[in-house]
Amino acid sequence: MAAKKIFASAEVAGELLGKDSVTLVNNRTGEQHHFPIVDGTEGPSLIDISNLYSQTGMFTYDPGFTSTGSCRSDITFIDGEKGILLYRGYPIEQLVDGADYLDVCYLLLHGELPSKLEGEQFAAVITNHTMLHEQLVSFYRGFKRSAHPMAIMVGVVGALSAFYHSDTDVHDPYQRMVAAHRLIAKMPTIGSYAYKYSKGQPFMYPKNDLTFSENLLRLMFAVPSEEYTINPIVAKAIDRILILHADHEQNASTSTVRLAGSSGANPFACIASGIASLWGPAHGGANEAVLNMLHEIGSVENIPKFVARAKDKDDKFRLMGFGHRVYKNYDPRATIMRQSCHEVLDELGVSDPLLPIALELEKIALKDSYFIEKKLYPNVDFYSGIILRATGFPVPMFTVLFAIARTVGWVAHWKEMYSGDETQRIGRPRQLYTGARRRDFQQLEIRKNRSPNWLRLWAGKK
Ligand code: ACO
């Protein structure tokens, strides 16, 4: 598809491409360059600039990738203007109603919803991989009890690469498949052990007759000294949260996994890099940050003060759980989460003092011209924290749950890299270099006599 493979010259390209092209005029030289327009099945067309450098000697500049498509993908589609999210073509609302999390995992990995037999076999395979190697379990003892569970996740998932390196040949489809199953299956065990370790409680073993979400709850909250009864309302709510977080196309953590994977790196190490990226408060760490923010607001009367802070350019404070790079309308996951939040709290008979604050904050922000003009709507993380609190999840575990859910998305994208036509090219962005021009090495005697002032430099000042 790339023009460099097809066309002998820019003129020929322009003629042959006709209206399915974009012409770039360099106003410095008057030169014209033609680039093909490529169309997906949904969404805006893209300009294929893969031969831009060879034609023009220039790169594109797009910090934060606001206008850049980094790959082809068949997995997830988002229409941010209309607030649409599709997994393999299926609307998220329908999947939340009709499927369970493992159905969605199957769908994301294989492209179709499973038949009855496929679903049963997939569940059996995943169930068979839920236990951790006992040597890996002892790895937890190296962490401080007070360590953040996401720090433990990064470490332990990265350590899986040490356990499964020799039998993970990324060029062998069977070994890729087994690695994917291990990752999806072990993530609830790894995440829940981070919590158990912080509490000083014994690690629970997975139980094979439970569903994915039920097993997660048991691993988190059961203790060996008594029977644990699973609350079906809580299990359903967790399953729904897992589905809503399962994939979201080329977000920061998924792009991180793809970039790490593009070098042929071990998949467990690649997923650890995705977990690290997810942890940030601008991404998956927002669900924890939302809860902390609602606590800090404390009461409905304080909301205007915090909204004013969020609008103040000199104040670093942002309304957590608001805004999204792609959604310029309501995040469809937030709509489901909001409704689910009311249902779960009602069904569990929980009255959370943070809910009225969240509802009022949403109401005030949605009427405020700052948020309207910037198209800042609640995102998936705005209400998920309140649901998770009602189900008993401790706040530091919120992002861990997100990581457990998103593992299938990361794995599906990593798998896709090995089946698509862009497979084996290493990801390697370019840059706009703004540093010193070539200069000769300075001997110590002639260097300026400066006293150390590194903090100034770390603060970004010249
Ligand atoms: N509160 C106040 N102002 C905001 C917010 C917010 N939550 N989000 C964006 N803005 C403002 C910015 O200050 C900026 O204003 P300006 O144009 O006057 O400079 C404008 O809106 C655009 O913001 P950017 O940061 O450039 O938008 P970007 O697309 O890069 O960032 C992001 C998106 C990171 C989600 C941002 O909206 C944010 O920080 N939100 C809060 C954190 C959050 O909820 N993250 C979860 C995202 S969902 C997920 O990852 C699962």
CA–CA distance, 97 with 390 (Å, rounded to integer) = 21
Task: Please report, for the domain that includes residue 375, its CATH number.
Answer: 1.10.230.10
Q: In what order do the strands lie in the sheet with 84-87?
A: 76-79, 84-87, 90-91
Tell me if 236 sits within 8 A of 340, measured CB to CB.
Answer: no
Tell me: pLDDT of 5 over 50.
Answer: no
Contact assessment for residue 61 and residue 213, using Cβ atoms and an 8 Å cutoff: no
226, two tokens: 């008594």
- The one catalytic residue in 324, 352, 368, 440 is 324
**Does the pLDDT value for residue 8 go beyond 60?**
no
Torsion of CA 450, 456, 460, 461, to 10 degrees: -60
In a domain, 435, yes or no: no
CA angle, residues 133, 224, 152, in degrees to nearest 5: 45
- pLDDT for 123-145, tens place per residue? 999 999 999 999 999 999 999 99
Q: Are 267 and 176 in contact (CB under 8 A)?
A: yes
Handedness of CA 290, 291, 296, 300 (dihedral sign): positive
Distance 293 CA to ligand 1 centre (A): 15
Calpha distance 410→425 (Å, rounded): 18
For the ranges 12-21, 318-327, 363-372, which has the lowest average pLDDT? Answer: 12-21
Q: Is residue 330 part of a domain?
A: yes
Look up 324 and say whether it is catalytic.
Answer: yes
CATH number at residue 15: 2.20.28.60
pLDDT score at 30: 96
Distance from the alpha carbon of residue 228 to the mean position of ligand 1, in angstroms:
41
Report how far Cα 97 is from the mean position of its chain's Cα atoms: 22
How far, rounded to the nearest angstrom, does the alpha carbon of residue 427 sit from its chain's CA centroid? 18
Q: How many domains is the chain built from?
A: 2
**Nearest atom of ligand 1 to the alpha carbon of 318:** 1
Rg (CA), the chain: 25
Is residue 301 one of the residues assigned to a domain? Answer: yes
Q: Would you put residue 123 in left (φ > 0), alpha (ψ -120 to 50) or beta? A: alpha
Cβ–ligand 1 contact at 114 (below 6 Å): no
Alpha carbon distances (Å) from 52 to 6, 23, 24, 60, 173: 14, 11, 10, 8, 34
Beta carbon of 324 within 6 Å of any ligand 1 atom: yes
| CA-nearest residue, atom 35 of ligand 1 | 324
Q: Indicate the pLDDT class of residue 422, thresholds 50, 70 and 90.
A: low
Q: Is the CB of 385 under 6 A from ligand 1?
A: no
Boundary of a domain, candidates 374, 390, 406: 390
Q: Which atom of ligand 1 is nearest to the CA of 310?
A: 2
- To the query of whether residue 381 is one of the catalytic residues in this protein, the response is yes
> How far is residue 36's CA from residue 228's CA, in Å, rounded to a whole number?
60
Q: Is the CB of 245 under 6 A from ligand 1?
A: no
pLDDT tens digits, 192-241: 999 999 999 999 999 999 999 999 999 999 999 999 999 999 999 999 99
Q: Ligand 1: does its nearest atom lie under 6 Å from the Cβ of 36?
A: no
Answer yes or no: is pLDDT of 384 > 70.
yes
Kindly state the percentage of the chain with pLDDT values over 90: 87
Please give the mean pLDDT across all residues of the chain. 93
- Domain boundary pick from 13, 43, 65: 65
The rounded Å distance from CA 324 to ligand 1 centre is 6
Q: Is residue 354 part of a domain?
A: yes
Query: Is residue 118 domain-resident?
Result: no
* pLDDT at residue 4 greater than cutoff 50: no
Domain residues for the domain of 46 are: 4-65
Q: What is the pLDDT of residue 419?
A: 84
> Residue of the nearest CA to atom 19 in ligand 1?
313
pLDDT reading at 22 higher than 60: yes
Residue 356 lies in a domain: yes
Q: What is the pLDDT of residues 387-413, one digit of tens each?
A: 999 999 999 999 999 999 999 999 999
Tokens 């379990």 belong to 137
Ligand 1 contact, 309 CB (< 6 A): no
- Among the three residues 373, 390, 407, which one is the final residue of a domain in this structure? 390
Q: Distance from the CA of 79 to the center of ligand 1, in angstroms?
A: 18
Q: Which residue has the tokens 């790079």?
A: 325
323 lines ligand 1 (CB under 6 A): yes
Which residues are bridge partners to 378 per DSSP? 322
Residue 2 scores a pLDDT above 50: no
Please pick, among 48, 100, 239, 381, the residue that the annotation labels catalytic.
381
User: Does residue 235 lie in a domain region?
Assistant: no
Count CB atoms within 10 A of the CB of residue 71: 17
Which tens digit of pLDDT belongs to each residue from 133-178? 999 999 999 999 999 999 999 999 999 999 987 778 999 999 999 9
- Measured in Å, residue 287 CA sits from the centre of ligand 1 at 14
Which residues, in sequence order, are CB contacts of 327 under 8 Å at separation 6+?
A: 78, 80, 83, 377, 379
Mutation pick for ligand 1 pocket among 291, 313, 324 (CB with most ligand atoms within 8 Å) = 324
Can you read off the two tokens belonging to residue 19? 């209206």
Cβ 302 vs Cβ 353: under 8 Å: no
User: How many residues belong to the chain?
Assistant: 462
Is residue 93 assigned to a domain?
no
- Interval 188-206: pLDDT, tens: 999 999 999 999 999 999 9
